Chains A and B, each alone.
Chain A
Amino acid sequence: MNDRWHGLRRVFRLALGRGRSVQDEIGEELRFHLDERIEELMDQGLSRSQAEREARARFGDLKQVGRQLQRIDQRTARREARGEAFRAFARDLRFGVRALGRHPGFATAAILTLGLGMGATGSIYTLLKRVVLDPLPYPAAERLVRLRNPVPGVEKSGEWNLSTAQYWHYQQLVPELDAIGLYGRYGLNAAASGEPRRAQAAQVTASMMNLLGAHAFQGRLLDSNDDRPGAPAVAVLAYGFWRAALGGHDHLVGTSIRLNDEPVTIVGIMAPGIELPRDRGETLADHADVWLAMRLDPAGPFYNNHVYRVIGRLRPGAPLDAAQRRIDGLQAGLPQAFPNAYSDKFFQRYRFHTVLHPLQRYVVGDMARNLWILFGAVGLVLLIACANVANLLLARLESRRQELGVRSAIGARRGDIAREAFAEAMVLALAGALVALALSLGTTRWLVALSPPDIPRLEVVGVDGQTLLFLLGLALAIALALAAVPAVKYRNLSGLAGLGDGGRSGTASLRRQRLRAGLVVAQMAFALMLVVGSGLLVRSFRRLRAVDPGIDPRGVLTLEWFLPYQRYDSLSKVWRFHAAVLDRIRAVPGVLAAGASEELPLLTGFGCTVQGFEEPVVYDRIKEAGLTTCAGQAPTTPGYFEALGIPLVAGRYFTADDNTAPERGAVIVTKAFAQRFWPGENPLGKGVSPNGRAKPPFYHVVGVVGDLHGSAVDEPPAIGIFYPIMAMPGSGRWYPSGMHVVIRVARGDPLALLATVRRAVNEADPSIPIANAESMQTLVRRSMGRLSFVMLLLGIAGAVALGLAAIGLYGLIAFVVARRRKEIGVRIALGAEPRQVEGLVVGGALRLAGLGLAIGLAGAVASARVLRGLLFGVAPWDPAAWLGSVLVLLAVAGVAGWIPARRAARVDPVRALREE
């Protein structure tokens, strides 16, 4: 082993960069060589100086060889040092494993606790990284912006999309944007060779291809030639749609596909993974199946129709504010440039203006805040878990005080003991990381399945290398923290009084266990934060569920169909189709009601179309209130309200006559509509007209239905007006696009009716596909998805935190009780009642918990404020939630203290006093 030691020493010298030793050795080696050669030559008869010259000449360039050797040796030294470091680390780990192996119970508990905390953190981190932190998958994603039009005069928080007029205007006059694209999304019926399918179309300007960084998998993409008005209709298929719906056959490029009965040439297949950015408020996942060209005419005509989505890209170096200022300045020019679409009055009444949102922030939206909240929550759980493991380590060290005292007495250095502690902590942390990785794999998938559908970018979430790196980093930090705990506590090894009294002090008390008590108090504080947060969310959720959604979703099937304009070019054709199919469906036994409308509560959002009113006083009233006369307008068949279980407040529902005799002009409005436009009056009989015309013929209100919600129950009730399918002659026209069909069944699973519906539709027109069939209850549940997701996870975090904190408290109290057996024995021998002893112990536990609560109060207040955006009908200082949380915590602490308390009360004084 001598040479090994020697080599090792040299290696460490070299590794520390003290190259002089390397140089010394190289010099000595070469010196030896030369000296020997010189002697040889002198033996052959040369003089010393001749021999030296000859030897050097024969050797070559001494300096250069020396430098070469130095380089080689230094590399060798570094490699050996690395190897030695690894070996040392591996030795430490092996040592740690052996040490822990002697206490498998402790090790298992610690590893599982850490694994739980780290696993939860890893899962949420994976979600956070993918959804919030990773950049969007577009080139120069950080420069992309989304344009929207807030209209505070109409709705406080909503924003509208853009008009084509705005698109052309900004394209020409905003140099801060080096690209701008416009797109729209809608459903259509696609048929290649087989059955028609419902497909999602994305109609885009050619500039969108560049903005999205799209490239073709086969064929070509849309280009500016395709995007001219009058250009032949071409389509690019999405990769997924090509494979799933069209079988992924080659040679489809160049063939034609029927979209809404129009033949369109396929010019290419998009590469996989190219998607339009998610839009805020979209509740269903939307993939573009077919890409079509927008074919906008720069010459117009232009309408005040704000339904187009616009994305832009800032020029490199152009800040967002510059572009925003430019657009603000251009607003005044819009009425002049597009007099048909804009007037100054429009801007005043609606307070319409355009804003730029950074695209990533826009897409991620609220979800960022929610995920950060969850990340904070699991972070707290992790801290509590680490505190538990630290407490376990300290407990173990306490029982090793004697051993440590002996070791320090015979010369063990603090550094060695610290290294051992670190090695153990590292083993625990790494093992915990492994457990965490396994846990993350499972829980991430569960999280994705559970999450509300409007979380963006969730499709690509998965545990990957970055999660592993995160966990390893976390493990290292935890190991350092855990190793620091005993190192801090036993700063002064020689001060251990352990040797004298056999390692057990008779006066161990809570006060002496200050560090451990401090950890437990911290745990309680953190747990309070989480429990208060959970409590607030639970109450919010219950309030939310108690809100009347305005419909009765039980036993209702909903689905969508779409009648293409090409074959259904008159409202009477549309009506005939609906009448025929809905009558057939109603004839099925078990069906109670069936109907269809363009809007569906809790899904479609009930847009904003201007209505005309017969009574001029309505306009004055509206202007005074600073509102507009727009409402959600929806052509609706009879049976719709009955199927959804929407109650009738006044008047009557629709009948078939309203469509066969459309000149009667019957409309139905929601209660909120009546209250806004005719407050305090009887709405029945009032005159309204669609599409903004304030001229006759007017429809008249024949019924008022109960309040509905457009997309979510925590919104104000929708202002909605329902027209029959057939329009009054001489009145405004509409074209119903996708119709939402609702069918109520008497019993059983509504989805079981799907095949029958399919048959009924086929009998009327086999080329109409059905889409998005689901039960209304699923939809309602989904609309509450966001709050329930955060609530569920926060609740789990709170419960886990409470459990861990209780375990921590229990561990400490039990430890102290065990230590104080002698003292307890003395007390009982002197006449203390068991109940008094119990009270003493539980009192100690409650005092600790109380201290934790007091300290945690500030944190809990902060966490309540952070959650404010998620609360519904509940204030951040809601007394029920707070009181409940404090009581729960105290109760749990009481139980945690009571178990060891009972043991203390049963101490046999004789035995206790006799013990050593």
Chain B
Amino acid sequence: MPSNDLDLLRGTFDLLLLKTLSRGPMHGLAVLRWIESATRDRLQIEEGALYPALHRLEQRGWLEAEWGYTDKGRRAKYYQLTPAGRRQLAAELSKWSRYSEAVRLVLTTDGAR
């Protein structure tokens, strides 16, 4: 279901996932919850898109997955960054800041003519 707040591009989605997981291993639901809480519910992630995204990142070698147990004792699949994933995160972060800076420049330049 598309969110009525902000739609999300795939590339940015991957960036958010990588950044979230940089804080430590989490299972998919935890990633979701963390993003929602960090953006104060402004960003709604499509739940169906989460797992394919996580699995693709695993396929590309940026995440690795391992089965573990939650504190409630249930089995869950935990994801964490690989060293290659860390490098990719750094690269994406710098790309993102350059992009957002460029957009900001365009938007804040006095353009009323």
Q: Taking beta carbons and an 8 Å cutoff, which residues of A are in contact with B?
A: 3, 6-7, 25, 28-30, 32-33, 35-37, 58-61, 64-65, 68-69, 72-73, 75-76, 79
Contact partner, B77, options A7, A32, A64, A75, Cβ 8 Å: A32
B52: Cβ under 8 A from any A Cβ: yes
B56: Cβ under 8 A from any A Cβ: yes
Among the stretches B7-15, B43-51, B92-100, B102-110, the one at the interface with A is: B43-51
Q: Taking beta carbons and an 8 Å cutoff, which residues of B are in contact with A?
A: 1, 27-29, 46-49, 51-52, 55-56, 58-59, 64, 66-67, 74-77
Contact partner, A32, options B1, B47, B74, Cβ 8 Å: B74
Whether the Cβ atoms of A58 and B29 lie closer than 8 Å is: no
Given A58-B47, A60-B47, check contact A32 B27 (CB 8 Å). yes
Given A29-B28, A36-B29, A60-B47, check contact A68 B75 (CB 8 Å). no
- Other than the known A32-B77, A76-B58, what 20 A-B pairs have Cβ atoms closer than 8 Å? A7-B66, A25-B67, A29-B28, A32-B27, A32-B75, A32-B76, A33-B47, A37-B29, A59-B48, A60-B1, A60-B48, A60-B49, A61-B48, A65-B48, A65-B51, A68-B52, A72-B55, A72-B56, A72-B59, A73-B55
Which residues of A lie under 8 Å from residue B76 when comparing CB positions?
29, 32
Contact partner, A28, options B1, B64, B75, Cβ 8 Å: B75
Least Cβ–Cβ distance between A172 and chain B, in angstroms: 68
Bound-state Cα–Cα, A68 to B59, Å? 13
Nearest neighbor of A59 in chain B, beta-carbon distance: B47
Which residues of B lie under 8 Å from residue A35 when comparing CB positions?
74
Nearest neighbor of A75 in chain B, beta-carbon distance: B59
Contact partner, B29, options A33, A64, A68, A69, Cβ 8 Å: A33
Which residues of B lie under 8 Å from residue A28 when comparing CB positions?
75, 77
Least Cβ–Cβ distance between B92 and chain A, in angstroms: 20
Bound-state Cα–Cα, A75 to B60, Å? 11
Bound-state Cα–Cα, A32 to B76, Å? 7
16 interchain pairs (CB within 8 A)?
Answer: A7-B64, A28-B75, A28-B77, A29-B28, A30-B51, A32-B29, A33-B47, A35-B74, A36-B29, A37-B29, A60-B46, A65-B48, A72-B59, A73-B59, A76-B55, A76-B59
Least Cβ–Cβ distance between A446 and chain B, in angstroms: 49
Least Cβ–Cβ distance between A892 and chain B, in angstroms: 60
Bound-state Cα–Cα, A30 to B77, Å? 10
Nearest neighbor of A62 in chain B, beta-carbon distance: B48
Whether the Cβ atoms of A69 and B51 lie closer than 8 Å is: yes
Contact partner, B1, options A6, A58, A79, Cβ 8 Å: A58
Which residues of B lie under 8 Å from residue A69 when comparing CB positions?
51-52, 55
Nearest neighbor of A39 in chain B, beta-carbon distance: B72
Bound-state Cα–Cα, A36 to B56, Å? 23
Taking each of B27, B48, B56, B64, which has the highest tally of chain A beta carbons within 10 Å of its own beta carbon? B48
Which residues of B lie under 8 Å from residue A65 when comparing CB positions?
48, 51-52
Nearest neighbor of A68 in chain B, beta-carbon distance: B52
Which residues of A lie under 8 Å from residue B49 when comparing CB positions?
60
Nearest neighbor of A25 in chain B, beta-carbon distance: B77
Whether the Cβ atoms of A79 and B59 lie closer than 8 Å is: yes
Least Cβ–Cβ distance between B76 and chain A, in angstroms: 5
Least Cβ–Cβ distance between A178 and chain B, in angstroms: 55
Which residues of A lie under 8 Å from residue B1 when comparing CB positions?
58, 60
Which residues of A lie under 8 Å from residue B46 when comparing CB positions?
60
Bound-state Cα–Cα, A69 to B76, Å? 16
Least Cβ–Cβ distance between B25 and chain A, in angstroms: 11
Shortest 4 CB-CB distances between A and B: which pairs?
A: A60-B48, A76-B59, A72-B55, A59-B47
Which residues of B lie under 8 Å from residue A25 when comparing CB positions?
67, 77
Least Cβ–Cβ distance between B21 and chain A, in angstroms: 16
Least Cβ–Cβ distance between B41 and chain A, in angstroms: 14
Which residues of A lie under 8 Å from residue B77 when comparing CB positions?
25, 28-29, 32
Whether the Cβ atoms of A33 and B59 lie closer than 8 Å is: no
Contact partner, A29, options B48, B51, B64, B66, Cβ 8 Å: B51
Bound-state Cα–Cα, A35 to B74, Å? 10
Bound-state Cα–Cα, A60 to B46, Å? 8
Taking each of B46, B49, B55, which has the highest tally of chain A beta carbons within 10 Å of its own beta carbon? B55
Bound-state Cα–Cα, A35 to B27, Å? 14
Whether the Cβ atoms of A3 and B51 lie closer than 8 Å is: no
Bound-state Cα–Cα, A69 to B1, Å? 19
Which residues of B lie under 8 Å from residue A64 when comparing CB positions?
48
Which residues of B lie under 8 Å from residue A36 when comparing CB positions?
29
Which residues of A lie under 8 Å from residue B52 when comparing CB positions?
65, 68-69, 72
Least Cβ–Cβ distance between A728 and chain B, in angstroms: 94
Bound-state Cα–Cα, A61 to B74, Å? 24
Bound-state Cα–Cα, A58 to B3, Å? 11
Least Cβ–Cβ distance between A296 and chain B, in angstroms: 69
Which residues of A lie under 8 Å from residue B67 when comparing CB positions?
25
Bound-state Cα–Cα, A36 to B74, Å? 10
Nearest neighbor of A55 in chain B, beta-carbon distance: B47
Given A28-B75, A33-B28, check contact A3 B55 (CB 8 Å). no
Bound-state Cα–Cα, A37 to B77, Å? 16
Taking each of A3, A28, A32, A35, which has the highest tally of chain B beta carbons within 10 Å of its own beta carbon? A32
Which residues of A lie under 8 Å from residue B56 when comparing CB positions?
72
Least Cβ–Cβ distance between A592 and chain B, in angstroms: 85
Which residues of A lie under 8 Å from residue B75 when comparing CB positions?
28, 32
Which residues of B lie under 8 Å from residue A59 when comparing CB positions?
47-48
Least Cβ–Cβ distance between B35 and chain A, in angstroms: 14
Which residues of B lie under 8 Å from residue A61 when comparing CB positions?
48
Nearest neighbor of A36 in chain B, beta-carbon distance: B29
Bound-state Cα–Cα, A68 to B52, Å? 7
Bound-state Cα–Cα, A668 to B47, Å? 106
Nearest neighbor of A58 in chain B, beta-carbon distance: B47
Taking each of B28, B46, B47, B66, which has the highest tally of chain A beta carbons within 10 Å of its own beta carbon? B47
Bound-state Cα–Cα, A202 to B51, Å? 72
Bound-state Cα–Cα, A12 to B76, Å? 21
Bound-state Cα–Cα, A30 to B52, Å? 11
Bound-state Cα–Cα, A69 to B50, Å? 11
Nearest neighbor of A2 in chain B, beta-carbon distance: B66
Least Cβ–Cβ distance between A104 and chain B, in angstroms: 39
